[in-house]
């Protein structure tokens, strides 16, 4: 199911186009607290996906959001809290037109990936403080960089092998 959801996200990249906007990592909206800044309607209570520039359609965002909730309810992570609460992995998705380059060593793909790793790490710090079981998976999608980067925390890594995540 994880790979299904992620494949879904990747396939949307090819149909995207539009405005350019580079978000600094500390300014990128948090989908839990800034629902509307994340491009969603105010009646959405909270979510784990943020697409402030509407890189993908609202319908696609809603569909992915439902999948993320499904993963959370149907999977189990390995600590007492997850087991008692019957909850599982939290997959959060950040979609942006173009990533703000934190290190910006060069425009080679490996340096872009290095920046994606750093960006995802910081974003996971801002977004994931509640993920005390290290059950967070963060998916960073930067359209113009052609990057889909997956950050997997320790416990999530145990179950979701990198191979599964990148499929
Ligand atoms: C569920 O998790 C929350 C923390 O997110 C915790 O405060 C609460 O006590 C847990 N509930 C159960 C039944 O374990
Ligand atoms: C990254 O470096 C290039 C030049 O190598 C520069 O044009 C660009 O503005 C820089 N991007 C950021 C976000 O600093």
pLDDT band at 2; cut points 50, 70, 90: very low
Answer yes or no: is the C-beta of 3 below 6 A from any ligand 2 atom. Answer: no
Answer yes or no: is the C-beta of 99 below 6 A from any ligand 2 atom. Answer: no
Task: Tell me what pLDDT residue 21 has.
Answer: 83
132 or 29: whose pLDDT is higher? 29
Q: Which residue carries 């299904």 as its tokens?
A: 4
Name the pTM for this structure: 0.80
In whole angstroms, how far apart are CA 148 and each of 45, 113, 118, 127? Answer: 26, 9, 13, 18
What's the average model confidence in pLDDT over 98-106? 96
Residue 31, SS3 per DSSP: coil
CA of 82, nearest ligand number: 1
Ligand 1 centre to CA of 63 (Å) is 27
CB 90 within 8 A of CB 69: no
82 or 6: whose pLDDT is higher? 82
Ligand 2 centre to CA of 56 (Å) is 25
């Amino acid at each position: 199911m994880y790979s299904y959801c992620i494949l879904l996200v990747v396939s949307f990249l090819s149909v995207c186009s539009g405005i350019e906007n580079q978000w600094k990592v500390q300014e990128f909206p948090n989908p839990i607290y800034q629902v509307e800044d994340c491009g969603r309607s105010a009646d959405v209570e909270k979510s784990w996906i943020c697409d402030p520039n509407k890189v993908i359609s609202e319908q696609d965002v809603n569909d992915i959001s439902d999948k993320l909730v499904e993963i959370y309810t149907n999977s189990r992570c390995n600590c007492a809290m997850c087991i008692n609460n019957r909850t599982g992995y939290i997959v959060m998705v950040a979609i942006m037109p173009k990533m703000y380059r934190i290190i910006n060593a060069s425009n080679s793909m490996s340096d872009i990936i290095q920046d994606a790793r750093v960006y995802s790490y910081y974003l996971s710090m801002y977004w994931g403080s509640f993920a005390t079981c290290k059950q967070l998976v963060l998916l960073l999608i930067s359209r113009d960089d052609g990057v889909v980067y997956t950050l997997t925390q320790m416990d999530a890594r145990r179950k979701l092998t990198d191979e599964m995540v990148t499929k």
